[in-house]
Structure 1
Amino acid sequence: MSKRTPLDLKQKWFVAQHWAQMDPPLTRASYAVLMRLLDRQNTKSGRCDPSAIGLAEETGFTERSVRSAFKELEERGAVKRYRAAKRSRNQFLIHSVEELGQIARLSELKSRSGRSSSMNSTSAQPAALFRSALKRSSPETIKETIKKKRSSERETVPNSRSLSEKHGASKTEMDLGEFEKRVVKVFEREGYGYEGLLSLPATEIEVIYGEMTKGVLSFSNAVGRLLKKYRSEVS
């Protein structure tokens, strides 16, 4: 889990009010555990990793109830849980109200893009699974491919508008859900984690995704802009 800016007192208050007014409400154990997690958050690193046994002693609920509360809080989206190793303690990222709104907007956009595109579903099996069924290319096919590539390199480069339109036809095949998955992998590889992506304004992600689907940006350029935006905000 990478470091994140801890919630300040005002943000914690908004989180408490948000979940106190939710319908359906959290269970008593889950709300009590969430309040203890807010209180236990490290004010410098943002880390929050109390044990289930310790929280049971502090809240008066059984350890089993506390662990059920962990599950409910994660399923409802109040927290994101990490574990560095199988026997290590849980580490919790508590979502602010702003982050909760952003997650909801991304989820809505993802479901909308899924409804509008019946092809290239993100749940489709990866092409790698069918690689063994592919026939080996013959030498003639390879030669033909090289010949076509050399021929295309000699052609005049099209104007920027036609290039964008050409790229746009292929970029629209990636829906928002697949885009988010691939961006998260890059953020995790850079050490920023999923919470790094969530710290960006939802409008920024929507604009960049929109430009990519229109062919204005490639995927690598889109991710580059998101990383640049994140780094400028945390520096």
Structure 2
Amino acid sequence: MPAPDGVGTLDSVVLDVPNLTAEADFWKALTAGTVSKADDDWITVVTPDRWGIAFQLAPDHVAPQWPGQEHPQQAHLDLYASDLASASARAVELGATVLREGEQWFTLADPAGHPFDICLKEEAEGITVMGATFDCPDASQLAQFWSGVVGEPVTYDGEGVAMLGGPKPLLFQSVEGYNAPRWPDPAYPQQLHLDIEVPDLDAGEAAVLALGATRLPSHEEGFRVFADPAGHPFCLVH
């Protein structure tokens, strides 16, 4: 299925965290990444495969309680590794907690409680980022929205799962009883969000609203906050 031109490009996956240093150190070590930006309330780590994983300080962060929907994960990162047991052991050594072990992937939680999956890929070198997966009530619908935002085609759509292709894949999974974020209410946290880089904020806003986004309150210069059709906040940045 061909994708439209897109509104912007994926800049970073941003996790809300109560401790910037602990979270950034964990993901930097796990992915062999490097810090590209750091200040009092934000740290960005860039992985060798060019994913930007950023962390923003959220002192009142309410950690997810996987796998239920009372305190949902909302979204998670998927990683690749050639050996699940050794990759999981490395993550635990760095501060992760194992949540589930399977034949094809392990589910763990990082130091802030964000679940992530390590998936088996025999040819993987080290631990690499495969993509980011979002929970939602309708995977097909949300994939179409994000295809319009980032300009990548829907390469899979079936059995409650949809996926966008391109160098930084996004995935969507339908979940029963989906409990959407209510940003900025800390009782219903976003957990993580995407930053989308656009050449023009006004044009970008018009485009994502036409696709079905909702504008959320924000007053800072340089970015604007929206919610996708499933309620996940995201930012357009310039």
When the two structures are superposed, what TM-score results if normalisation uses the length of structure 2?
0.28
Name the one with the larger helix percent: 1
Q: Which one has more relative contact order, counting CA pairs under 8 Å at least 6 apart?
A: 2
Identify the structure with the greater strand proportion: 2
TM-score (norm 1): 0.28
